[in-house]
Structure 1
Amino acid sequence: MLCGLARPEADAGGILTCPVCGWRLGDSPDPDLPRPRVDVVYYLRWDDRIKIGTSREPRQRLAAIWHHELLAFEPGDRAVEHARHVQFAHLREGGEWFRAAPELRAHAAALADGIPPWHRYARWVADALRGAVS
């Protein structure tokens, strides 16, 4: 399995796959192929503020930022990040930090849709890897 986040389960065809990333048990990405780029916009909460940022390497980026909670990811690069900064400009407190107002919290919750952000990211990476070899 690719992500290692869950035990494999049999799909409709009886093939063991990860319920998180959808990767088939026993398959592995070709190490000679470059890792696909998966840009994300992230929403991090620290006290009563939320940071809206972007990264193509979210594990490293988020490890460098103090935060209490990762609220959500959404697929996107700097253009999507900029659109969110404009959308929530009235809540901006400085830089990429915004007041954690109900509308911003609701936006992040809708993006997450009850799925842990790292599970969603694992699916996107797996989908990108499948697309790179198809």
Structure 2
Amino acid sequence: MVTSGALPGPCMLCGGDRGSRVGGGWECAACGWRYGDVPDADLPLPRIQVVYYLRFDRRVKIGTSARPRQRLAAIWHEELLAFEQGGRPLEQQRHREFAGIREGGEWFTLTDELATHIAALRAVGDPWQLYARWLSEALRA
């Protein structure tokens, strides 16, 4: 029987506070990490390639990184809009898709078409929770 509710404490991987009781233990609802397990500090975290969408005013930067926290800290932006799991090929595909609204470099005008694409990504989940889930899946693999 699966029971949902508050975790006994924050998830050690993503900090989430909600989960499901499965068998004799809890799993984080945000990332799927088993409550109480601690990532091995001696091992590097897996590198998860993401395509990110950052908003600054009415412009969106579509870029990629394997270390999104560090990368986003280095870019002036107002809001993280979304993540997609994928690397340079997916980023280049998105650049081709939205080439007609490119302002220069990796910056694009926030049109209805781009906003619809981003909304579909947001419907899947919060960007940082998705990243935590992908990280959790890679750690379990």
TM-score by length of 1: 0.90
Contact 1:8–1:16 (CA under 8 A) maintained in structure 2: no
Residue 3 of structure 1, CA deviation: 1.0
Alignment counterpart, residue 13 of structure 2, candidates 2, 18, 22: 2
Q: What 5-or-longer segments of structure 2 have no aligned partner?
A: 1-11
Runs of 4+ in structure 1 over 6 Å off: none
Give, in whole Å, the separation in 2 of the partners of 1:46 and 1:39.
22
Q: What 5-or-longer segments of structure 1 have no aligned partner?
A: none
Contact 2:20–2:29 (CA under 8 A) maintained in structure 1: no
Residue 32 of structure 1, CA deviation: 3.8
Structure having the larger proportion of residues in strand? 2
The residue that corresponds to 1:103 in the other structure is 113
Give, in whole Å, the separation in 1 of the partners of 2:23 and 2:83.
31
Give, in whole Å, the separation in 2 of the partners of 1:43 and 1:3.
21
**Percent of pairs with identical residues:** 60
Give, in whole Å, the separation in 2 of the partners of 1:128 and 1:112.
22
Does 2:97 align with 1:87? Answer: yes
Q: Which SS does the other structure have where 1:11 is aligned?
A: strand
Count of residue pairs brought into register by the alignment: 130
Alignment counterpart, residue 28 of structure 2, candidates 3, 8, 18: 18
Does 2:134 align with 1:124? Answer: yes
RMSD (CA atoms):
1.4
TM-score by length of 2: 0.86
